[in-house]
Amino acid sequence: MTSDSPTGDELAGVFVRASGLLLSAEAVSTALLLITSTAEEVFPGAVGAGLTLVDRDGRRVTAAATDDVVARADALQYELGEGPCLTAYEQRVVVRIDDVDREDRWPRWVEAVRGTGPRAVLSAPVVAGAETLGAMKVYAAEPGVYGEREERLLENFATQAAVLLANTRTADDARHISDRLKDALRGREVIALAKGIVIARDGADERAAFLALTDLAQRRGTTLREAAEDLVRSTVDRPTRTP
């Protein structure tokens, strides 16, 4: 990696910022794009970074991509049913290609992607507990630019992406957060999220946030859970602001 790569503290700040976007109800795609955009800046020679999600029926989608190079390379993997990103997802391992022109593990994908931009590829599984949600990847324009250090770094990025997804997805369906967020948050989870919104909005501490929710429920004549659901729903429905 280059000498001007971000430190661990700087990367932690990016991940905290992404979590903050969720607490203030920014779109999940915005948070994921923040992570992938940061990955593109961090990894040497990167021409793009992205995140693939796979649903329980095996459908694959690129949930975040910083460049058309990523979208095209991913689409070829989905179409052909092979490639480093899919292998990272299926086998839950980090996959590295040092040089696409000399790679023979995925012959159809390599032949299709050769000459389109990527020469080196690094993919890491996005794992939440016992479930693999997808894979994160970076593509580089030059061969041989990634090593073990970059593998560990990408695992760190993939872990943070998994945390964001796991914290906002339900156990019943971990792959439809954007459509189901308003209906899926229930019980203690929705109360915790509502408290986070109050904390982020008002600068309150946790106790004050809880009291504010309690007061809101009393004034509306609803339960605490219903008041929390209303607050989360109204916040999610606001137009997305650029961070």
Please give the torsion angle defined by the CA atoms of residues 205, 211, 213 and 216, in that order, rounded to the nearest 10 degrees: -140
Report the C-alpha gap between 94 and 191 in whole angstroms: 36
Tell me, what's the pLDDT at 177?
45
CA distances from 145 to 2, 7, 21, 48, 97 (A): 10, 19, 32, 14, 10
- Is 112 in the same domain as 230? no
Q: Are 43 and 139 in contact (CB under 8 A)?
A: no
Decide the pairing of beta strands 95-97 and 120-128: antiparallel
Tell me, what's the pLDDT at 78?
93
With a cut of 70, which residues of the chain have pLDDT below it? 1-28, 167-188, 236-243
Q: Is residue 176 assigned to a domain?
A: no
pTM over 0.85: no
- Is 147 in the same domain as 207? no
Which structural domain range is residue 79 located in? 8-171
Report the C-alpha gap between 199 and 208 in whole angstroms: 8
SS3 category, 228: helix
- Is 50 in the same domain as 95? yes
CATH of the domain at 216: 1.10.10.10
DSSP state of 100: G
CA distances from 108 to 80, 123, 191, 241 (A): 7, 18, 49, 42
Task: Say which amino acid occupies 86.
Answer: L
Alpha helices for the chain (secondary structure H) = 8-23, 28-42, 68-80, 84-91, 107-113, 148-168, 177-184, 187-202, 206-220, 224-236
Tell me, what's the pLDDT at 237?
62
pLDDT in tens, 95-130: 999 999 999 999 999 999 998 889 999 999 999 888
Report the C-alpha gap between 69 and 4 in whole angstroms: 25
- Where among 149, 171, 193 does a domain terminate? 171
- Is 63 in the same domain as 103? yes
